[in-house]
Structures are given as C-alpha cells and as structure tokens.
Amino acid sequence: MLQLHRSSLLLVVLFTALGFSGQQVQAQARVQAQSFGRTASGIEYKIYRNTTGRYQLRTDVNPAGDPTYSTRVGKILAAHLQYRTAKDSLLFSTRKELMGMPAQLPLAEVKVRGGIEDAVALLQPGDSAVFRFNVDSVFAKSFRQPAPPFMKKAGNTMTVLAKAQKLMTQEEASADQQKMMELARKKAEADAARLLQKDDLQIQAYLKKNNLNGLKTTGGTYYVVTKAGTGPKPQTGQTVSVLYKGTLLDGKVFDSSEKQGGKPISFALGVGQVIPGWDQGLAALTQGTKAILLVPSPLAYGSRGAGPDIPANAILRFDVELVEVK
C-alpha cells in the first residue's frame, strides 16, 4: 500500500475535492511529493496547473510575487477554499459553508505580505494550490487577532487549500452570484422536499407508537388536539398568546414557557415571527385548545439546528395551549 507523507495527504484532500478517483489521487500525490516553495514573505506553497488532464506542479511561480497580478487587481476571483489546522482538522470550507458555491475574492493591491491575500495573489484562474502559513503570523496579518489557543495546540502552522476557478468583473460577479444563489435556493427546496417526506413517515410512526390521532395541515405540520377550546380560530396577522413546551421526539426538553418565566409568548400569527410549523399548527386550533404539534425539520430549524439542544434536521414536538386570540 502506498505510504503518503503528511504534505502528500494534503494533496489527497485537494485532488479528492477536485473529483479525482482514488488511484489518480494517490498517483498524483506520489508524483507531486516535491518540497514546498517559499515566498519572500515566508508563505510555503505548492501550486498546480491542469495540463491535458493532469495536475502538474507550476515551476514558474515567482517567490517575490506574481508580476502579472497587477492585471488582475480590481477583478473578482471565484475560488474554493479550505482552512485546516496543523493536524489537518477542517476549520472552514466554502463548499460546506456556501452551499457548494465558490467564494468571491476581490483582488486589491497587496499591502500586507505574508497573509492569505498575499497567497491568493499568486493564483491564476485554473490553479490549485496548497499554502502553509505560520499560525501566529497569518492570524495577525489576515485576521488581525491572535491565533486561538486550539489552533496553536494543534501545531504552529495553518494550511489553506485553494482552487481558483475564474476571474470576473464586478458586474459579472454580481450576475454570477445571483445565478448561484438561485441554484442554491432550488437545491435547498429540493432537499427540504425530500426531508419533508422522510420526516412525515417518522411522524406517522411516532403517532402510531404513542396512540395519537393526528391531523395534518396542508403545509405538513401535524397536530393532535388533547383538549378542545371554544373560542375563535386565529386569522393571519392576529396576535396570539401561547403556552408551550418543546421537546425532541426522544422526550428531551429544549425550551418551555416555564423556562421563560411561566408566561405565554405573544406574536402575530402567519407573518414569519415564529417557525413555519407553529404558524401552520396554531392556525388550525381554536382559542383555549390544548394540542400537540409535530413539526417536520424543514418547517422548524432544518439543517442548521438551533443552539446546543436542537440538532440539525430534528423533528420537534410542542405541547401548546392557545391561551388567547386578540
């Protein structure tokens, strides 16, 4: 089995992100196991260019700075980035944080040498790179703050993996961002629709297991009336007051009126002041009703979760009382 040096492991991460097969990744890592170059400002680098389907180490990189960079100043570079600790733990990834979209990096005159901006200035469209920085230096120069203790505990370096895609004008970047945001919105909607179907099956199983007779709103939230009220149903825009207890399906309580002083929470219904599951479920109740709301995760906090107690993609149960409709 091929044994890889740590610097080659970073190449495995880079080439895997670019879509290479496992054999291609290992072959590229073995061929490209040369030592890092070093800029005059102290940045260690390996920069690659895709030539006829193979990534070759660029040998024309000027350690004093790219003399062609001035032609790129004022434009926007679309690039994917990963930040990693000295122990190769992932700190940040544009693919993850930006829903697969590249970062748009404004290119300006480099005034501080040795930081991330200085490294980006070496990149030309189509380049892929591994940059290695002294952790104290890069935090001081690029983030204007001391390196966090956990970073220094991992080692005295930080690595940035970069894939430069294309150069754009300000207008092109704005149009590209709108296009990417629309694609991301459609993807998010498709993901939410799939998750809604999955959650629906889990909620039905939960109702059956707990002998609950649930009704489903047109939006997808389930409600179980445990005590019927006699007052009016709330209309969109009306203020409602609600007592509640929120739990995960395993019974763990994450919030309640008792935790908030025991008083009802008041808000305008149906205008987005609460999660969609509440707007849907409470609209089906009459004043004075006590009920259980079972909210699919896309109608609650979705993939982002909420704080330490609500994990990503969690179905939520709320025991509620619609105290008043104003």
Residues involved in catalysis: 244, 254-255, 275, 301, 318
* Three-state SS at 141: helix
What is the C-alpha separation between 203 and 215, in angstroms, rounded?
11
Could you tell me which of 3, 69, 49, 62 has the C-alpha nearest to residue 30? 3
- H helical segments located in the chain: 6-17, 22-31, 94-97, 116-120, 135-138, 149-154, 170-209, 276-283
> What are the backbone angles phi and psi of residue 138, rounded to the nearest 5°?
-70, -35
Which residues of 230-271 form beta strands (DSSP E)?
A: 239-248, 253-256, 265-268
Tokens 């105290």 correspond to: 323
For residue 162, give the H/E element and its range.
strand 157-168
Chain-centre distance of CA 27, in angstroms? 31
Tokens 């969109």 correspond to: 236
What is the C-alpha separation between 46 and 204, in angstroms, rounded?
54
Q: Are 322 and 234 in contact (CB under 8 A)?
A: yes
> What are the backbone angles phi and psi of residue 9, rounded to the nearest 5°?
-60, -35
